[in-house]
Chain A
Amino acid sequence: MAERNPKVVGFCCEEHGIECANLAVRSGKQYDVSVRLVRVPCTGRVDGIHILKALEDGADAVFVLGCLEKNCYYDTGSIEGRKRVDYVKSMLSQVGIEPERVEMFNASSSMAWKFSEIVSKMTDVAKRLGPIEPRGDGQ
């Protein structure tokens, strides 16, 4: 198995998602360089296709970070985001790929601690599961 750094991609909404991340770093939090963030106006914009393609492009784990469901700037955006993530998880299960590689999270822009939790959790997943490649254990 190739030794390479874990790769985690996070789709964060421009409203609460990215600001939660910003608040975390401005409070001095460091996080693993394994995590790279991509901005979307709203997590409702995230299509299952983007998540799957991110995995195809080499991500070991993908998360989607949106507003709290009752506090979404666009009313129902993060509810939609969650549905897309859930659907992708079910597809991954059906093709024998660990569904925990993909997760949905909700936070508000004031929940700096939550961002640390998220990157910690997803980096762990990426390290534990490694890249999507032949396992060598025969399936």
Chain B
Amino acid sequence: MIVAERKPLGEIAEMVAPYQKVTVIGCRSCVAICLAGGEKEVKMLVSAMKLKNRREGRKQDFDGFVLERQCEKEWVKEVEDKILSSDVVLSMSCSLGAQTIADMYPEKIVVPGLNTAMFGVPEEQGVWSEKCLGCGDCIIHTTGGICPIARCAKSMLNGPCGGSSNGHCEVNLDIECAWYAIHERLKLQGRLDLIEMVRPPKEWTTSHSGGRRVIVREDAKLTPHQKRDKEAVI
């Protein structure tokens, strides 16, 4: 899932400092799950901001709540009144949610309360690690289920670099060398022949290097007639 981290509170305070009415909007999806932008974090943030203001002798109006999924227009539309009446929207969602609001209400100032970091998995409660870079052309069937694009610091495609040492990456000793891991995995599966497979240079146009990507399912798109405004989600 998308893993994000709350920005340092000082940075957030600076972003909203010029505004009087601050509307803080969180999300119940990925950022709640990675403990960055759910209802609890929103409430704690508002409280901390109020305390900061009390110490500094200023007053701002804060309103905080969460949406089911901030990247969906229907859910954002539900709180249109609150967005329009705010001086600034402080989004405690991943950047997708923040940008959704910003795109829907281009005259409103929207600031990000979180740093969207990565696609990550919870290794254990409280620890998330990056496993995918969204290259758009998955090859993990050839690497025993381990992604070398994300898990190798250099995104090497054909085995480790010379810096691999005792199974660790030269960039950071805390990181396992992905190709060491791939080797061990393929060995376990009795498929070491895949290590010898030569992978040609990757088709990077499917990744971000080819520019912002758009994925379309023609069979899912709505006709103009279908697209008429429906009643609110809730």
Binding site for B on A (CB under 8 A): 47-49, 52-53, 55-56, 88, 91-92, 94-97, 132-135, 139
- 0 or 1 for each of B25-63: is its CB under 8 Å from A? (1 = yes): 000000000000000100110011111101111000000
Across the interface, A49 reaches (CB within 8 A) one of B8, B40, B51, B52, namely: B40
Question: Is the beta-carbon distance between B55 and A52 smaller than 8 angstroms?
Answer: no
Across the interface, B47 reaches (CB within 8 A) one of A56, A96, A139, namely: A56
Across the interface, B56 reaches (CB within 8 A) one of A52, A55, A134, namely: A134
* B49: A residues at CB distance < 8 A: 95
Nearest Cβ on chain B to A4's Cβ, whole angstroms: 15
CA distance A133 to B55 in the complex (A): 4
Question: Is the CB of B10 closer than 8 A to any CB of chain A?
Answer: yes
CA distance A56 to B62 in the complex (A): 14
* A52: B residues at CB distance < 8 A: 44, 47-48, 51
Across the interface, A94 reaches (CB within 8 A) one of B9, B47, B55, namely: B9
* A56: B residues at CB distance < 8 A: 47, 50-51, 54
Which residue on chain A has the smallest CB distance to residue B47? A52
Contact (A49, B56) CB under 8 Å given A55-B51, A95-B9, A95-B51 = no
Per DSSP, chain B at the interface is helix
Across the interface, A53 reaches (CB within 8 A) one of B9, B47, B52, namely: B47
Residues in B125-156 with C-beta less than 8 Å from chain A = none
Question: Is the CB of B195 closer than 8 A to any CB of chain A?
Answer: no
Nearest Cβ on chain B to A67's Cβ, whole angstroms: 22
Question: Is the CB of B2 closer than 8 A to any CB of chain A?
Answer: no
CA distance A92 to B13 in the complex (A): 13
Question: Is the beta-carbon distance between A95 and B44 smaller than 8 angstroms?
Answer: no
Name the interface size band of chain B: 10 to 19
CA distance A133 to B40 in the complex (A): 25
* B50: A residues at CB distance < 8 A: 56
Question: Is the beta-carbon distance between B44 and A96 smaller than 8 angstroms?
Answer: no
* B43: A residues at CB distance < 8 A: 49
Which residue on chain B has the smallest CB distance to residue A47? B40
Contact (A97, B52) CB under 8 Å given A91-B9, A134-B57 = yes
* B44: A residues at CB distance < 8 A: 48-49, 52, 88, 91
Interface centre among A56, A94, A134 (most CB of B within 10 A): A94
Contact sample, A vs B, 8 pairs, CB 8 Å cutoff: A53-B47, A56-B51, A56-B54, A91-B44, A94-B10, A95-B49, A95-B52, A133-B54
19 further contact pairs, Cβ within 8 A, besides A52-B48, A91-B48, A94-B8: A48-B44, A49-B40, A56-B47, A56-B51, A56-B54, A88-B44, A91-B44, A92-B48, A94-B10, A94-B48, A95-B10, A95-B51, A96-B55, A96-B56, A97-B51, A133-B57, A134-B55, A134-B56, A134-B57
* A97: B residues at CB distance < 8 A: 51-52, 55
Contact (A132, B55) CB under 8 Å given A49-B40, A56-B50, A95-B48 = yes
Which residue on chain B has the smallest CB distance to residue A136? B57
Question: Is the beta-carbon distance between A132 and B54 smaller than 8 angstroms?
Answer: yes
Question: Is the beta-carbon distance between A139 and B56 smaller than 8 angstroms?
Answer: yes
CA distance A132 to B54 in the complex (A): 7
Nearest Cβ on chain A to B167's Cβ, whole angstroms: 32
